[in-house]
Amino acid sequence: MTSVKTLSGSLAQAAGSIMAVMAIGVTLMFVAGHAQSATLHDAAHDMRHATGFPCH
């Protein structure tokens, strides 16, 4: 019974970590995608096209 609790706890922790990383990634994509700064635009330009994010 203990191993089941440990396993489910590990899975819940892994799922939480995955969700946190996804949230950070989506936030970075949103910020870079809507940036008005020429430097940020130039830095993210190729990645925007690679992911299909319209920028012009």
Q: Domain coordinates of the chain in residue numbers? A: 18-56
Instruction: Read off the pLDDT of residues 2-40 as tens digits, 9 standing for 90 and up.
Output: 555 555 678 888 889 999 999 999 988 887 777 667 777
Model-level pTM?
0.50
Q: Give the position of tokens 């430097």.
A: 39
User: Which residues have a Cβ under 8 Å from the Cβ of 44 and sit 6 or more positions away?
Assistant: 32, 33, 35
User: Looking at per-residue confidence, does 28 or 1 come out higher?
Assistant: 28
Buried (b) or exposed (e) across 3-42, using 16+ Cβ within 10 A?
Answer: eeeeeeeeeeeeeeeeeeeeeeeeeeeeebbeeeeeeebe
**Is residue 40 within 8 Å of 34, Cβ to Cβ?**
no
